[in-house]
Amino acid sequence: MNIDAPRIGVIGAGVVGLTVADILQKTSKANVTVMADGFGEDTVSAVAAGIFRPGTTFRGPTKEITKKWINDSWHYWQDILKSSEANHAGIFSFNCYVYSTQSYQATRNRLIEDLVPYYKEMTEDELRIAGGEQKYGSCFSTVKIGCDNYLPWTEKRLKRNGVRIVREKVESFESVKKKYDLVFNCTGLGARYLCDDENVVPIRGQIAKVKAPWLKASFYSDYADTYIIPGIDGVATLGGVRNYDSYNKKFNKHDAAAILERCYTLLPPLRKALVVGHRVGLRPHRDIVRVEPEILGDLKVVHCYGHGGYGVTTAPGTALHAVSIGMDLLRTKHKL
């Protein structure tokens, strides 16, 4: 530990918090500590399907900033994908097919159509081959970030490179102000209480896990948030539900039955797949994702939370922005 270096705390060990810590460790000489009361499987990130597919409910303060966050995230994930660590990090590439019975616009993703290497509107022949009642479709190349791999992989590297990992529930900023020169708040839904931010709202999600090693692409339908996403370990994620302002973390058998039936209808071969589990998580949604500084007395804070269902997709872009803000706050006191 460099006793002359700034002391930086990161609150939260989900995909956003660990990515912020990773960027800090790589780009500064600071002494970094990650504090959280939940790690790995105890985080909502571990429930996420992890596909890079930002949606229209993900918004920054401006369209330009939102697009930059998405673009920066894509390139961050691509750098890992192209490295020898891709498998260890749980990152792999595949094609995604988005279908609709209503309109082409329901399948179009303007946020990434100029970013990913392959993006096209599906032809009538391609839709006919796909079968079912789908009348419109888009196909594009993307990646999955499996947090069951990415979180422990990142945590291990952080520890190896001198970052402290502490199991601690931070109840207030007052409790950490004497320990750190700068704190990053990456608490997701916890920010509703830590910051008294009622703009953070839980959106309940439930998914099923099935063994489908033959699945090499992902599929979406505009009917009731239906999606099918492959896994690097051959276990696919089937979803889903979006229950706004719900704090219910209990498994719901009716949701499970509906998810499975919708996914079976979208991709009939899944009926033969073995169901190996179900997961429930609360997505931390905020109308505008909060990435901004705040001075609380003597403590400098940078907030980075409210990503909703797109935390895995956009964690790197928002983390890079947050770290840049934090470094600006410190430069007046520390030479980095």
Q: Characterise 247 by phi-psi region: left (phi > 0), alpha (psi -120 to 50), beta (else).
A: alpha
Predicted pLDDT of residue 334: 44
Q: Look up the pTM and report it.
A: 0.94
Q: Read off the pLDDT of residues 288-299 as tens digits, 9 standing for 90 and up.
A: 999 999 999 989
If one counts the domains in the chain, the total is 1
Q: Is the dihedral of CA 290, 64, 139, 106 positive or negative?
A: positive
The answer to whether residue 1 sits within a structural domain is no
Window from 1-15, 198-212, 245-259, 283-297 with minimum mean pLDDT: 1-15
The answer to whether residue 336 sits within a structural domain is no
The answer to whether residue 226 sits within a structural domain is yes
Residue among 306, 330, 308, 231 at smallest CA distance from 276 = 231
pLDDT bucket at 335, cuts 50 / 70 / 90: very low
Structural domain for 106, as ranges: 7-330
As a whole number, the mean pLDDT across the chain is 94
The answer to whether residue 20 sits within a structural domain is yes
- What's the CATH code of the domain at 22? 3.40.50.720
The answer to whether residue 335 sits within a structural domain is no
Cα 239 from Cα 209, distance rounded (Å): 9
The answer to whether residue 62 sits within a structural domain is yes
The answer to whether residue 2 sits within a structural domain is no
Residue 132 pLDDT > 90:
no
Q: Is the dihedral of CA 252, 256, 262, 263 positive or negative?
A: positive
The answer to whether residue 21 sits within a structural domain is yes
Q: Which residues, in sequence order, are bridge partners of residue 294?
A: 301
